[in-house]
Every structure is written in structure tokens, then in C-alpha cells.
């Protein structure tokens, strides 16, 4: 039972490069989320999706893009990477919002140098 799978686990990017963080879930969840966690801080919501074809901004969306072409996949795109995007990124999914928990992937540690 894979749950939420993120790739890659680690990545070093140079300033100005771009990359896509992959996220897939096999629980048939409608809701998917991308969070970032900076050192000593809580998780902050970057983007979320309530279903295939529907995405919306969270608390810290600048510098990122997402798409949701299928229920299973929710990739996060970084264009023109900046040192401020150095963080640990977590993808999560839930059956719906409200009084239910979200399931998280293992995280992607990204360093921009």
C-alpha cells in the first residue's frame, strides 16, 4: 500500500534552473496539497487541488505552478529557482476536506545554490 509517493527525495538546483517535484497517490483521494517546511517553521500550503482539473493557491504560491490532469498525480513546478525556495516539500492527499486527516508523502529536500 504505497499511499502518497514523492520523487525525488533530494535535489540540488542552481539559481535560475527549473524542476518538477512529482507526487502521486493511490488512495483515490480527491484533495491533494503541496506544503513547504522551512527550518524551525510549520508547514505552509503552496497549492492545493480539489479534483482533476481544479487547482488553487494556498498561503505561499509565488514561484510555483501546479497541474492536476488525473486524480492520482499532482506535480509541483518550480520555474527560475531561487535560494528562498530551499526547503523540504511535502505532498499530501485527503479524501475530502473538513474533519478528516491528510496523508503525507516522505518529502523532497530541495537546495537551491
Partner 1 sequence: DQQVKQNSPSLSVQEGRISILNCDYTNSMFDYFLWYKKYPAEGPTFLISISSIKDKNEDGRFTVFLNKSAKHLSLHIVPSQPGDSAVYFCAARGDLINNDMRFGAGTRLTVKP
Q: Give whichever of 6 and 85 is closer to partner 1, judged by the CB atom.
A: 6
Q: Give whichever of 11 and 44 is closer to partner 1, judged by the CB atom.
A: 44
Residue pair 23/5 in contact by the 8 Å Cβ criterion: yes
Interface residue list for partner 1 (CB under 8 A): 4, 31, 33, 35, 40-45, 48, 50, 56, 58-59, 90, 92, 97-99, 101-107
| Least Å from the CB of residue 11 to partner 1 | 15
Q: Where are the beta strands (DSSP E) in 8-101?
A: 10-13, 19-25, 31-37, 43-51, 54-57, 64-66, 76-78, 87-94
Amino acid at each position: 500500500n504505497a499511499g502518497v509517493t514523492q520523487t525525488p527525495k533530494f535535489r540540488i538546483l542552481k539559481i535560475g534552473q527549473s524542476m518538477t517535484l512529482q507526487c502521486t497517490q493511490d488512495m483515490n483521494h480527491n484533495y491533494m496539497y503541496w506544503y513547504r517546511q522551512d527550518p524551525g517553521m510549520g508547514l505552509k500550503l503552496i497549492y492545493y487541488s480539489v479534483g482533476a482539473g481544479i487547482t488553487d493557491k494556498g498561503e505561499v504560491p509565488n514561484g510555483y505552478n501546479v497541474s492536476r490532469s488525473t486524480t492520482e498525480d499532482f506535480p509541483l513546478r518550480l520555474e527560475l529557482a531561487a535560494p528562498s525556495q530551499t526547503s523540504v516539500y511535502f505532498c499530501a492527499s485527503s479524501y475530502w476536506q473538513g474533519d478528516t486527516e491528510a496523508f503525507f508523502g516522505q518529502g523532497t529536500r530541495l537546495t537551491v545554490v
